Amino acid sequence: MRHLLTTETLDRAAIESLLDSADEFLDVLHRPIPKVPALRGKTVATLFFEPSTRTRMSFEKAAKALSADTMSFSPSTSSLKKGESLKDTVLTIHAMGVDCMVVRHEATGAAWRVAEWVDVPVINGGDGAHQHPTQALLDCLTIRQRFGGLDGLRIAIVGDVRHSRVARSDVFAMATLGAEITLIAPPTLLPLDTTGWPVGTSCNLDDVLTEFDVVYLLRVQAERGGASVFPSNAEYRERFGMTRERMSRLKPDTVVLHPGPMIRGIEIDAAVADDPRCLVLGQVTNGVAVRMSALYHLMGGVPVE
Amino acid sequence: MTRVMDDADVARALRRIAHEILERNKGGSDLVIVGIHTRGVPLAERLAGEIADIEGAPIPSGKLDIGLYRDDLDSRPTVSLGPTEIPVDIDKRTVVLVDDVLYTGRTIRAALDALADLGRPAVVQLAVLVDRGHRQLPIRADYVGKNIPTSLGEHVSVRLRSVDADEGVFIDAAHIGGDA
Amino acid sequence: MSDVLIAGGLVVTPDGPMGVDVLVREGIVAEVGESVRRDGATVLDASGAWVGPGFVDLHAHLREPGQEHKEDIVSGSAAAAAGGYTALVAMPNTDPPIDRGHLARFVADRGRAVGLVDVIPAGCISGGREGTALAHLDELWSAGVTLFTDDGDTVADAGLLRRAMEYVGQLGGVIAQHAIDGGLASGGQMHEGPLSSRLGMQGIPALAEEMTVARDLSLVRLTGCRYHLQHVSTAGSAALIAAAKREGLPVTSEVTPHHLAYDDSAVAGTDPAFKMMPPLRSVADMRALRDALRAGDIDAVATDHAPHADHEKDVPFEEAPFGVTGLEWAAAVTNTTCGLDPAAFFERLSVAPARIIGAADHGRLVEPGTPANLVVFDPGRRTLAGSTVSKSANSPHLGSHWDGGVRFTMLRGRLTHTLAGAAAP
């Protein structure tokens, strides 16, 4: 594997290999010295053109746990304001000597362009509403830890699917691992055309709520969809929020996941967020391990492709 | 392909090494046998079993994956990771590392680094089924099943019943490419 | 200038395609026949090739004045000549836009001075292309403009479009429309379909074009003005145009080579070389466009040659400007995708476009007395689109092989392009 850009092209063996390695890295993270020398001397650059503190920190922690050095680029203080193009920014950072780039950008396909411009592995940290593969991998790892695997699991993805790169990455990764996925959202927030997607859809959460083993909640992204995608936050919570009442109707073993950051009181009630069946903090820990796994698989050996 | 040890030879070697370990360490207390992934692991389990037979008490054994400590990551494709599980705390204990073939010594160096991140053993010793020479680092084995001088072009392979179809030690001529 | 004999080709004459020779003298076709005397003439070998009227492009962006870093009239003319074109219509969305007579004259004069292709300026429909008030249509007409378009933008105000049609209609000109509803297309980057959903990108539904076409056709019915639909991209639009023709409305339309060659799956890799407006559409749309071109429901092939500099296109897909180039390979791409017979081929690439723009010296089937604006096109030659003489290299065709190559292009008897290695003077 040369780059990690999308979950659409990862087959089952590839995903399981990444998750198996992530399990080993979880062990490393729990040791007294939570560090291994595998990527010593290598530099990982995070280029986050869209604001994100948490994902960037997760990648930095992952790189450091592998003994790599990190560099981070953030646009607010940068030369982009002076009119430098993305390509020149990337080439400049590359010329400083980096061994891997993690790129997050609001434009679809940005990570693919970067991969064309440099000769080091590239990880897509999120491009537009398109893909965010490491998020999907950590979600799959979290579910696998709880259920042993994803075969036959019924998973609901609830919320602004139309504008969600997390949802798109999850759909393809989880389906590859054998899960049955249903997208649940008001019509304005479902993708326009899901032909060929391995999913079912529904516009009514209450009708189908009790069927699921995993409920994955998305945030309503005002900044991506534009103001007029849903009438009001209160209405959203009323019809699609994971309220305490809905939580009580779930099967006893059903778990709730969320990619973060959560908006308590809209897509998830505070009580639900604090319930032991809500695995959000586990997701965060798994995120570091999964990113260690991605970095190790891309940099811990000569490229095979 | 020449067979230089058959399954009876392997069994005898392991039994002898078990006795040597007990003799050198004056008994089995504080011992933990740790096998290096891949074939060091079943050898370690068998060795721990032999020692337990002689002593009449179980001896802890564990497995160590050294993939994250290798010094040749830039010259090979990424190797998938195996589990590292040692059931006891290694601090102040005598760790006997076990591997199938001792060659350049680089695997053992990586194993020593990995152990250092897991704790601080009092003593680390090394048991190998085969020592084929050509050391690149100042590493030596404390316990050796068989010394087999080889040329660099040859490849030594160990097969074990628990992992492979048969059991024994084999030499293959003219195989280019390293093992550690 | 000595005589030129184009020998051994299949010549498209008013009596049909024939295996004859063509003698060109002083910029005119002097003789067409089987045993034409050739003493003193320069001989161009046309064996295995078609000989016909030079191609006419109804839609090319030469970017001069104002955006010469992308292209100018020199480089654009060179690309056109290399593609077998003897005339082209230069789009008016330059900087400043061509909404005044003197600006149209500037473009025409520049083209004449370069002398590689006849540059026919189009004029804006609205002043400044702002879509609010009419441009100086009379002034433009006096400067030789017969085709009016706000291409790059759609004339959205139906009242303004009606007035433009009434005015241009009584002049005898043609209103050309870049037909995309701004509201439905807002923020759109690619065709709205399964792939846009999968990529998470805003799409432009086929309806955005078809709604505008339907509305415009109602205005044509009302005003009787000649109407030309630019870069048709959907099966629905092709059907609307076909129905309008059957009804007897004065409508014509064009399709680009890239809409004949690619569907939206080409965008799956988010490569901006496949980003243009209107976008590449579904496979069904692409096939319908090919069928419509073959049947004549779509009158002409037009390139919508839209150069952008490397640094402008070498960015993430959503940030890239819309537009691709294609003058040099239009004929080969059309030949590869549609397999037209020689008569139909020249009808779509030369005869019909010349008729639509009123270029009397172009698009003439070969017979004595016609101006020698000719192209020798080898339909069987496998050509690699390897490099370009345009200033810009933003073409999806680059790097691919096509069936067909232009061997010679001739403007008023003078060679403007010779294929490297072709048997020539």
* ipTM for the predicted complex: 0.90
DSSP letter for C411, please. Answer: E
Determine, for residues C316 and A129 on separate chains, whether the beta-carbon distance falls below 8 Å: no
Distances (CA, A) of C7 to A20, C35, C38, C414: 72, 10, 9, 16
| pLDDT tens, position by position, A27-55 | 999 998 999 999 999 999 999 999 888 99
Q: Residues near C123 by Cβ (< 8 Å), separated by ≥ 6?
A: C92, C98, C99, C104, C135, C137, C140, C141, C143, C145, C147, C148, C149
Q: What residues of chain B lie within 8 A of the CB of A33, using their CB?
A: 117
Minimum Cα–Cα distance from C189: chain A residue: A108
Which CATH superfamily does the domain covering C54-357 fall into? Metal-dependent hydrolases (3.20.20.140)
Q: Which residue has the tokens 């040329």?
A: B151
Q: What is the CATH number of domain A12-131+284-299?
A: 3.40.50.1370
| pLDDT tens, position by position, B87-100 | 999 999 999 999 99
- DSSP-H helix ranges across chain B: 7-24, 40-55, 106-118
Query: B61 in helix, strand or coil?
Result: strand
Q: Are B48 and B96 in contact (CB under 8 A)?
A: no
Amino acid at C60: A
Query: C327 in helix, strand or coil?
Result: helix
> Which of B70, B75, B78, B120 would best serve as a mutation to test chain A binding (most A beta carbons within 10 A)?
B78
Give chain A's radius of gyration (CA, Å): 19
Nearest by Cα to A122 from A75, A156, A90, A144: A90
Nearest by Cα to C258 from C215, C290, C217: C290
Q: What residues of chain A lie within 8 A of the CB of B67, using their CB?
A: 38, 300
Q: Residues near C333 by Cβ (< 8 Å), separated by ≥ 6?
A: C257, C258, C260, C261, C326, C397, C402
Query: C3 in helix, strand or coil?
Result: coil
Distances (CA, A) of C99 to A238, B133, C121, C125, C160: 56, 87, 11, 8, 15
DSSP letter for A135, please. Answer: H
A100-116 mean pLDDT: 96
pLDDT at B178 > cutoff 70? no
The alpha carbon torsion through A112, A113, A116, A121 (nearest 10 deg) reads -50
The chain A residues in contact with chain B (CB within 8 A) are 17, 20-21, 24, 27-28, 31-33, 35-39, 66, 296-304
**Touch between chain B and chain C: 3 or more Cβ pairs under 8 Å:** no
Distances (CA, A) of A299 to A11, A120, B74, B107, C232: 20, 9, 8, 20, 48
Determine, for residues A31 and B113 on separate chains, whether the beta-carbon distance falls below 8 Å: no
Rounded Cα–Cα distance for residues A137 and A178 (Å): 14
Taking the Cβ of residue C210 and every Cβ of chain A, the question of whether any pair is shorter than 8 Å is answered with no
| Burial class of C268 by CB neighbour count within 10 A (0 to 12, 13 to 18, 19+) | middle
Rounded Cα–Cα distance for residues A153 and A182 (Å): 11
Q: How many CA atoms lie within 13 A of A179 on its CB side?
A: 29
Q: Are A160 and A221 in contact (CB under 8 A)?
A: yes
DSSP letter for B162, please. Answer: T
pLDDT at A303 > cutoff 70? no
- Give percent above pLDDT 70 in chain C: 99
| C3, C150, C304, C378: the active-site residue | C304
> Which of C189, C190, C198 would best serve as a mutation to test chain A binding (most A beta carbons within 10 A)?
C198
Determine, for residues C200 and A107 on separate chains, whether the beta-carbon distance falls below 8 Å: no
Determine, for residues A197 and C198 on separate chains, whether the beta-carbon distance falls below 8 Å: yes
Class for the domain spanning B2-71+80-172: alpha beta
Q: What is the CATH number of domain C4-50+369-384+400-418?
A: 2.30.40.10
pLDDT at A304 > cutoff 70? no
Q: What residues of chain B lie within 8 A of the CB of A304, using their CB?
A: 77-78
Determine, for residues A300 and B84 on separate chains, whether the beta-carbon distance falls below 8 Å: no
A186-214 mean pLDDT: 94
Q: Are B166 and B6 in contact (CB under 8 A)?
A: no
Nearest by Cα to C232 from C202, C249, C203, C212: C212
What's the confidence (pLDDT) of residue C292? 98
What's the confidence (pLDDT) of residue A221? 72
Determine, for residues C318 and A86 on separate chains, whether the beta-carbon distance falls below 8 Å: no
B24-28 mean pLDDT: 91
Q: Residues near B135 by Cβ (< 8 Å), separated by ≥ 6?
A: B102, B103, B104, B105
> Which of A6, A7, A88, A108 would best serve as a mutation to test chain C binding (most C beta carbons within 10 A)?
A108
Residues of A tagged active-site: 54-55, 82, 104, 132
Q: Which residue has the tokens 């319908």?
A: C288
C309-318 mean pLDDT: 95
B23-38 mean pLDDT: 94
Determine, for residues B78 and A27 on separate chains, whether the beta-carbon distance falls below 8 Å: no
Taking the Cβ of residue C319 and every Cβ of chain A, the question of whether any pair is shorter than 8 Å is answered with yes
Residue B75: how many CB atoms within 10 A of its CB? Answer: 10
Q: Are A51 and A106 in contact (CB under 8 A)?
A: no
List chains touching B (3+ CB pairs under 8 A).
A
Residue C374 Cα to chain centre, angstroms: 17
Nearest by Cα to B62 from B23, B91, B95: B95
- Give percent above pLDDT 70 in chain A: 94
Nearest by Cα to C380 from C326, C339, C420: C339
Q: How many CA atoms lie within 13 A of B163 on its CB side?
A: 15
pLDDT at B175 > cutoff 70? no
User: Hey, what are C390's tokens?
Assistant: 């345009």
Dihedral sign for Cα atoms in the order C206, C208, C213, C215 = positive
| pLDDT tens, position by position, A164-177 | 999 999 999 999 99
Minimum Cα–Cα distance from B67: chain A residue: A38
Rounded Cα–Cα distance for residues C365 and C369 (Å): 11
Residue A124 Cα to chain centre, angstroms: 10
Smallest Cβ distance to C269: which of A112, A191, A192? A112
Rounded Cα–Cα distance for residues A216 and C399 (Å): 44
| Peptide linkage before C65 cis (omega within 30 of 0) | yes
Nearest by Cα to C365 from C21, C11, C4, C10: C11
Rounded Cα–Cα distance for residues C197 and C201 (Å): 7
Tell me the backbone φ, ψ of residue B40, rounded to 5 degrees: -65, -25
Which has the minimum average pLDDT: A81-85, A258-262, C327-331, C346-350?
A81-85
C4-11 mean pLDDT: 96
Query: C393 in helix, strand or coil?
Result: coil
What's the confidence (pLDDT) of residue A79? 62
Out of 3.40.50.10470, 3.90.980.10, 3.40.50.1370, 3.90.230.10, the CATH code matching A133-280 is 3.40.50.1370
pLDDT at B39 > cutoff 50? yes
What's the confidence (pLDDT) of residue C425? 46
Domain boundaries, chain A: 12-131+284-299, 133-280
Distances (CA, A) of A184 to A159, A205, A283, B160, C399: 6, 6, 21, 53, 44
Mean pLDDT of all residues belonging to chain A: 92
| pLDDT tens, position by position, C171-219 | 999 999 999 999 999 999 999 999 999 999 999 999 999 999 999 999 9
A98-117 mean pLDDT: 96
| pLDDT tens, position by position, A213-251 | 999 999 877 665 545 667 788 888 888 999 999 999 999
Residue B126: how many CB atoms within 10 A of its CB? Answer: 22
Nearest by Cα to A127 from C215, C228, C319: C319
How far apart are the CA of A144 and the nearest CA of chain C, in angstroms? 25
Determine, for residues B84 and A24 on separate chains, whether the beta-carbon distance falls below 8 Å: yes
Query: B47 in helix, strand or coil?
Result: helix
Domain boundaries, chain C: 4-50+369-384+400-418, 54-357
